Amino acid sequence: MSGADFQALAVHLTLGVAVVVLMLTVSFRRSHGVAAGVTLVALVAALAAIGVAAPVAPRTVTPLLVVDGFGLYFAALFLLATLVLVLLSYRYLQDGQDDPEEYYLLVLAATLGATTLAGASHFASLLLGLEIMSIALYVLVAYPRAGHSPLEGALKYLVLSAAASTTILFGMALIYAATGTLDFSSLRVPADAQPFLVAGLAMVLSGVAFKLSLVPFHMWTPDVYQGAPAPVAGYLGTVAKGAVFAVLLRYLVDTGALADPTVLRVLTLLAVLSMLVGNLLALRQQHLKRVLAYSAIAHFGYLLIPLIALGRVDPTLAVEASLVYLGAYFAMTVGAFGVVTVLSGRQIDGDADALDAYQGLFWRRPALAVVFTVVLLSLAGIPLTVGFIGKFYLFAAGVSAANWLLLAALVAGSGIGLYYYLRIVFTMTRSEAEGATGAATPWLPGQWALGAVGLVVLLFGVYPTPLIDTVRQLIGGWSG
């Protein structure tokens, strides 16, 4: 490996070193503040490392990893989302009866796994990244909390997610048996696909669909989201899914698997089902985290639209649409779970999950309610929020691919989605319930970060050109 290779790996190396440093720090001196501080410094350093890696991109480092604009964009998203969630977690974990230090260690490890996935161009690195991330998440979902037991969700996640990982692994083995290679770019599907290859592809896709919680592989999502601590649920919804989506996108572009009409049909089916079922099931939920879980299912259904369009239109538009939408989705989801986290106060008090807890929030904590409203309207795709820009891209991709079935599902799904997002807004505007608690807390760094997220959602909604230009610049040349 040359110096340029190490330079290209700057982000991964920074995170890897940070994990080790934090582990040593924790073993010598337990302190919540120090652990959180080291994590923040590591995340900021990793963000800066993107600037170091960018000049040498695109570069293939070993057959396993590619460092290119696409991967770096995802890495930036993951790091920013993690940064906000860590800032929010600090107060959330305070005064718990358990040691909060390992929490940060696991978050850093999971983020390392996610950035690896974003650069994976080989099945080996796919599995490596996926497992680093998933194993850290198993623990995070069950992160020790006094009283309330999150074990049901955690166990469900552990068993099902591990099953999905093994399915992917088995699929890889079959693909390898059929083609003799694990490298994406040499995996172009031949016209007369052998049964092994088809079976392998199906297994990989279903494993990925599970990780993205696409219908009908979605059953675990609401329970796990509800059981997991609020910031971890936010992490699951953003980084964990975004990383898998990144690798799926790269796989589909590199292997050209979309040329196969069966793959296209399967993905279309998954997309339509996710959009409709996700939104429909969200309608009657009384718990906010469950609503957000179902809404995430629907949003990944939406995200499949540009993916499917990839085969039919200018691939730049499709990839660009995916990246812009995912960027928007990250901001909104982090914002939504951030509000839940802030309102929950400390973890030992239990999460503010019931919809009733939000009654009168507008009059009790106006700033928080305004941020939440902006984020919810963005999730619903109302103009002047970044969510609308994302949705506009989806429509543009869908229309240019002339995929009317998907567009119809998108319109129907968005219409249904509006109902439950507005219901939350309406709950917040109602007069305060008797004996409602939750006096305003001072604005801590986490809340400032949340405010910044709200601002980003608005600013990129009003003037998205910087976001669009960045994305176009980063993917230039790759997807052609």
Partner 1 sequence: MTALGLIVLLLAGSLLAWAAARLGPAWPQRVSLGVLALATLWLFALWQTGPDADGAYAVFERPWIARFGISVILVIDGLSLLLVALTLALGAVAVVSSWTEVSERHGFFQFNLMLTLAGVVGVFTALDLFLFFVFWEVMLVPMYLLIAIWGHERRAYAAMKFFLFTQISGLLLLVAIIALVLLHQRAGGELSFDYRLLLDGPAVLPAWLMIGFLAAFLTKLPSVPVHSWLPDAHTQAPTAGSVILAGIMLKTGAYGLIRFVVPLFPDAAEAVRQPVMLLGAVSVVYGGYLAFAQEDFKRLVAYSSISHMGFVLLGVFAWNQLAVQGAVVQMVAHGFSTAALFMMAGALQERLHTRELSRMGGLWQRAPRMGAVALFFVVASLGMPGLGNFVGEFMVLLGAFQVDVGLTVLAALGLVVAAAYALLLMQRSFQGADTADAQPLADFGPRELTVMGLLMVALVGLGVYPQPLLDLSGPVVSGLRAVSGAGP
Interface contacts to partner 1, rule CB under 8 A: 363, 377, 382-384, 388, 392, 395-396, 399-400, 407, 410-411, 414-415, 418-419, 422-423, 425-426, 429, 463-465, 468-469, 472
| DSSP per position, 68-105 | -HHHHHHHHHHHHHHHHHHHHHHHHHTT-SS--HHHHH
Q: Is 365 exposed, middle or buried (0-12, 13-18, 19+ CB in 10 A)?
A: buried
What does DSSP say about strands 59-61 and 65-67: parallel, antiparallel, or unpaired?
antiparallel
Asked if residue 212 lies in contact with residue 244, where contact means CB atoms within 8 angstroms, the answer is yes
- Residue placing its CB nearer to partner 1 in the complex, 24 or 283: 283
* CA-CA-CA-CA torsion sign (374, 377, 382, 388): positive
Contact 108, 39 (CB under 8 A): yes
Least CB distance from residue 78 to partner 1, whole Å?
Answer: 25
Q: Considering the complex, what minimum distance in angstroms separates the CB of residue 363 from partner 1? A: 8
State the nearest-atom distance from the C-beta of 404 to partner 1, in Å: 9
- Per-residue b or e along 210-248, where b marks 16 or more CB atoms closer than 10 Å to that residue's CB: bbbbbbebbebbbbbbbbbbbbbbbbbbbbbbbbbbbbb
Cβ closest to partner 1, residue 17 vs residue 402: 402
User: Which one, 193 or 418, has the nearer CB to partner 1?
Assistant: 418
Task: Tell the residue number behind the tokens 């996710």, with chain if given.
Answer: 274
Closest to partner 1 by CB, 300 or 388 = 388
Beta carbon nearer to partner 1, 175 or 336: 336
Angle at 345 between CA 339 and CA 350, to 5 degrees: 100
**Separation between Cα atoms, residue 118 and residue 266, nearest integer Å:** 24
- Write down the least CB distance from residue 418 to partner 1, Å: 5
Provide the minimum distance between the beta carbon of 441 and partner 1 in the complex, in angstroms, as a whole number: 23
Among 63, 136, 149, 55, smallest CA distance to 98 is for 149
Classify residue 216 by its DSSP letter.
T
Question: Of 169 and 401, which has the nearer Cβ to partner 1?
Answer: 401
* Rounded Cα distance, 295 and 286, in Å: 13
Compute the residue count for the chain.
Answer: 480
We find the least distance from the C-beta atom of residue 455 to partner 1, in angstroms, to be 16
Beta carbon of residue 373, minimum distance to partner 1 (angstroms, whole number): 9
Which amino acid makes up residue 449? A
CA atoms within 13 A on the CB side of 401: 28
Residue with smaller CB distance to partner 1, 43 or 428: 428
CA distance 57 to 96: 43
Do 413 and 277 contact (CB within 8 A), yes or no?
no
Q: Which is nearer to partner 1, 240 or 375 (CB)?
A: 375
Closer to partner 1 by Cβ: residue 74 or 460: 460
Of the candidates 279, 284, 204, 245, which has an alpha carbon nearest to the alpha carbon of residue 77? 245
Can you read off the two tokens belonging to residue 342? 């802030």
State the nearest-atom distance from the C-beta of 274 to partner 1, in Å. Answer: 18
d(CA 342, CA 288): 14
> Least distance (Å) from partner 1 to the CB of residue 413?
10
CB of 35 to partner 1, least distance (A): 41
Nearer of residues 27 and 465 to partner 1, judged by Cβ: 465
Q: How far is the CB of 429 from partner 1 (least distance, A)?
A: 5
Choose between 162 and 418: whose C-beta lies nearer to partner 1: 418
